[in-house]
Amino acid sequence: MISLDDTKSVNESLIKEAKPATLPRRKLVENDRSFDWITEKVCGIVEEKTPTWWWVCFFISGFVSLFTVAGTIYLISTGVGVWGLNNPVNWGWAIVNFVFWIGIGHAGTLISAILCLLKQNWRTSINRAAEAMTIFAVVCAGIFPLIHVGRVWFAWWLFPIPNANVIWPQFRSPLLWDVFAVSTYGTVSLLFWYVGMIPDLATLRDRAKTRLKQLFYGFFAMGWRGSNRHWSNYEMAYLLLAGLATPLVLSVHTIVSFDFAVSLIPGWHTTIFPPYFVAGAIFSGFGMVLTLMLPLRSIYGLHDLITQYHIDCMCKITLATGSMVGYAYAIEFFIAWYGANDFESFAFINRAFGPYAWAYWIMITCNVISPQLFWFRKVRENPAFVWIVCIFVNIGMWFERFVIVVTSLSRDFLPTSWGYYSPTLTDIMTYVGTFGIFTFLFLLFLRFLPLMAMAEIKAVTPQANPHHNSEGGSH
Amino acid sequence: MSDEGKTYGMMASFKTTGAVMQAAEKVRDEGFKHWDVISPFPIHGMDGAMGITRSKVPIFTLIGGATGFFGGNLMIWYMNAYDYAIPVGGKPMFSPMYAFPVSYELTILLAAFGAIIGMLLMNRLPMHYHPAMKHDAVDRASNDRFFIVIESSDPRFDEKTTTALLERIGGSDVTKIED
C-alpha cells in the first residue's frame, strides 16, 4: 500500500529530498462502495419491513418512559417531598440527571460542528445519529430543571415575561443563564440536524412508494432537488451553523458549570469547572455514541460505513477526554491543598474518604481507569469490549455529577447542618424512565429518518472527487 | 425560443463526478448564465466550474448575530435596570458582564436562524414544484446521477445548438423539459 512518489532516482534524492513515507489514508467507506450502494443501505433501514426487535424495544421503552410520566405526575400533584431532597441537600438526582443528559448531548454537537470545522471527514457516517442523540438527550435533560423548580406552574417566570407583579427575571442569576443556554442549545441542535437532513429527506422522497410517505418526506424536504446553486448556499449555511454550534456547545456546559461555580459551596466554587465540565460532557457523549452505534452497526451490517477507523477515532477521543477528566480530578485535589482553605480541603478529603466514598471510587474507576484501556489496539478492535468500557463511562459520568452535587452539599461549613442524602423510589424511577424516553425517540428516528448523512458520506468517497477517474483530467 | 414558449430548458445526465465537472466548465465557457448542475451531493470545486460567486448567506448570519447580541443587552438593561430595577448587593443596575452569557446565547440563536433563513431565502425554498423535476431519471439526482439543465430563458439558448452542446460535452438522455 505504501508508495513513494518517485522510485526512479532514489540514489540522488536520498540525501537531498528525503521525504517521510506517504502513508495511505484510511478509507472512510470500505470495499469501494458505489453511491447507489450507500443510498440503498441507508434508505433500506427506513424502507424495510419493521423488524421484530424494533417492536419489542419500542414497547419496552414506551413502557419504561411511563415511569417518568408517573413520577412527574406524582411529584407535581404531591410536592417535592416525594423526592429525597432535604436540608442540607436541596439539589439531588434532578440536577444530577439534568447535567448527565445535557453532557451526553455534547458529543453529538462536537461530531457535527467541531469535527466539521476541523475537516474530520470520518464524522460523516456518525454525525446524523449523534445529533439525534443530542436532541433526545436535551429532551430528557429539559424535564428535570422544569420539574425540580417545585411549583411547576410558575416555571414560566424563567422566561422574559413579566410575572403577575410585573417583575422581570433576574439576569444576574446563573440559573437564568442556564435557561437561555439550554433552550438555545436545543433549538440550534434541532435546526442543525434538520438542515443537515434536507438532502437525505429528498432522497427518501424520491424513493417513497406510498402517498403518505411522499407527502411526509416531500413536505420536510422542502422541494430540495440537488441544484448546485442551492448546494452553494447550503454548504455556506452548514459551515456557518457548524461555526456557531462550536462556541455554543462549549458555552452550554460552561454555563451549566456556572450553576455550581458561581455559588460559594466548597467543592463547587472553583474556576476549573467550565473546562472540566466540557471535557466531561464530551467524554460521556462519546461513551453514549459508541453505546448506540456499535449495536446498530452489527444489527444493520453497517461495517463498511462505520469502519474500524471510525471506532478507533471515537475511542481515542474518549481516551483523550477521559484523561482530561482524570487530570481535572487530580488538580482539584492539588488546588484544594495548595489553596490552604480548610473548607475546600475538607470537601475533597470528604469526597474520597467520607460517607460518599463509594460513589467517588466508582467514579474514579469508571472515568479514569476504564478509558485507559483504549490505549491498546486489541481493545479498540474488539467492539464488545469497547461497548462494555463505554457502559462504564456512562455509569462513571453519572456518578461524577452525583459526587459533585451531593458530597459538597451534604457536608458544607457547619457540622451541625450536615446530612446524608438518599434518593427515594420516585427519584430512581423518574430517572430510569428517561432512558425509556430516550430509547423511544431514538427508535422512532431509526424507523422514519435517514440514520446516516448519505449526501455527506457520498461526498467523501473517492469517486466524488472530480479528479478521481481517468476521464477527470489533471490535478 | 419564441414559438416554444412552454419549454423550460434542455437537460442532460452524466454518470461521474469528473464528467459533469468538465461539462460544466464547458457550459460556463460558452457563456451561459441561466443553467444549473444537479447532483446528489455538493461537488468540491463545482462553484468555480459553474462560475458561481460566493454565497450571500453570511450577511443574514451577521444581521442575526448582531440583533441577538445588541437585542439581548438591550432587553436585560430594560428589564433589570430600567423598567423594574432589581438592586442586588449594591452592584450596578446594569453591567455588560452579567448580561454577557444571555446575550451570547441570543447571538448564537439568532445568527443560526439568520443562516437558515438566509439559506432558504437565497434558494427560494420551500419550492415543492420545479420543472427540472420532470426529467424521467431525475429521481436519481438524489442517488447517483448528475444533471446539467440549461434554461430557455438564457439568451444563448437555442433548442438545436444547446442539444448539440449537451451531447458534445458528454451528456446522455438529453431531454426537453416543459415548463
Q: With pLDDT > 90 as the criterion, what percentage of chain A qualifies?
A: 73
Q: Which architecture, in CATH terms, is B7-54+130-178?
A: 2-Layer Sandwich (3.30)
Closest to A125 (Cα-Cα) out of A199, A42, A46, A54 = A42
pLDDT value, residue A14: 63
Contact call for residues B122 and B55 (beta carbons, < 8 A): yes
Range with the lowest mean pLDDT among A16-20, A56-60, A373-377, B59-63? A16-20
**Which helix (H) or strand (E) segment is B146 a member of?**
strand B146-151
Minimal CA separation from A251 to chain B, in Å:
8
The whole-number pLDDT of residue A404 equals 93
Mutate to test the interface with B, among A34, A236, A460 (most CBs of B within 10 A): A236
Asked, for residue A1, whether it belongs to a domain, the answer is: no
Residues of B in contact with A218 (CB under 8 A): 128
Q: List the domain boundaries for chain B.
A: 7-54+130-178, 57-123
> Does ipTM exceed 0.85?
yes
Range of the domain at A273: 10-457
Residue A399 has pLDDT above 90, yes or no: yes
Cell numbers given for A404: 459533585
Residues of A in contact with B116 (CB under 8 A): 191, 195, 237, 241
Question: In this complex, do B123 and A226 lie within 8 Å of one another by their Cβ atoms?
Answer: no
Look up the CATH number of the domain holding residue A306. 1.20.1630.10
Closest of A305, A320, A299 to residue A107, by C-alpha? A320
Give yes or no for a contact between B114 and B61, defined as CB atoms under 8 angstroms apart. Answer: yes
Q: Which of A166, A255, A463 sits opposite B84 (nearest CB)?
A: A166
Nearest CA in chain B to A454: B41
- Please give the Cα distance from A188 to A198 (Å, whole number): 15
The better pLDDT of the pair A370, A469 is held by A370
Segment A167-181, tens digit of pLDDT: 899 899 898 999 999
Kindly state whether residue A466 falls inside one of the protein's structural domains: no
In a domain, A227, yes or no: yes
Bigger pLDDT: A17 vs B157:
B157
Task: Please report which confidence band the pLDDT of residue A13 belongs to, taking 50, 70 and 90 as the band edges.
Answer: low
Q: pLDDT digit string (tens) for A230-255?
A: 999 999 999 999 999 999 999 998 99
pLDDT at A15 over 50: yes
List CB contacts (< 8 A) between B45 and chain A. Answer: 466
Q: How confident is the model at residue A30 (pLDDT cuts 50, 70, 90)?
A: confident
The verdict on residue A471 lying in a domain is: no
Chains A, B: CB contacts within 8 A come to 229
Compute the mean pLDDT over every residue in chain A, rounded to the nearest whole number: 90
- Is the CB of residue A88 less than 8 Å from the CB of residue A409? yes
**pLDDT value at residue B86:** 83
Of A188, A226, A251, the CB nearest to B112: A188
Eight-class DSSP state of B174:
E
Nearest CA in chain A to B75: A160
Q: What is the pLDDT of residues A97-139, one digit of tens each?
A: 999 999 998 888 888 888 889 988 899 999 999 999 999 999 9
pLDDT interval class at A200 (50, 70, 90)? very high
pLDDT category, A1, cuts 50, 70, 90? very low
Count of domains forming chain A: 1
- The answer to whether the CB atoms of A471 and B16 lie below 8 A apart is yes
For residues A29-47, average pLDDT: 90
CB atoms B79 and A169 under 8 Å:
yes
Asked if residues A108 and A130 have their Cβ atoms less than 8 Å apart, the reply is yes
pLDDT of residue A69: 96
Q: What would you measure as the largest C-alpha separation in chain A, in angstroms?
A: 87
Pick the residue from chain A with its C-alpha nearest to B141. A226
pLDDT tens for A296-347 read 999 999 999 999 999 999 999 999 999 999 999 999 999 999 999 999 999 9
Whether the pLDDT of residue A43 is over 70: the answer is yes
The predicted-structure confidence for B17-53, as pLDDT tens digits, reads as follows 999 999 999 999 988 999 999 999 999 989 988 988 9
pLDDT of residue A470: 43
Query: Hey, is the C-beta of A258 within 8 angstroms of any chain B C-beta?
Result: yes
Of A170, A207, A234, the CB nearest to B86: A170
Residue contact A237–B115, C-beta within 8 A: yes
* Segments in chain B below pLDDT 50: 1-4
In-domain check, residue A81: yes
What pLDDT sits at residue B115?
95
Nearest to A255 among B20, B101, B118 (CB): B101
pLDDT at A190: 94
Read off φ and ψ for residue A468, nearest 5 degrees: -70, -50
The more confident residue out of A33 and A24 is A33
Contacts of B52 in chain A (CB under 8 A): 228-229, 232
pLDDT band at A203 (very low <50, low <70, confident <90, very high): very high
Q: Is A214 within the bounds of a domain? A: yes
Q: How far apart are CA B156 and CA B150, in angstroms?
A: 10
- What pLDDT sits at residue A302? 92
Could you tell me the pLDDT band of residue A16, with boundaries at 50, 70 and 90? low
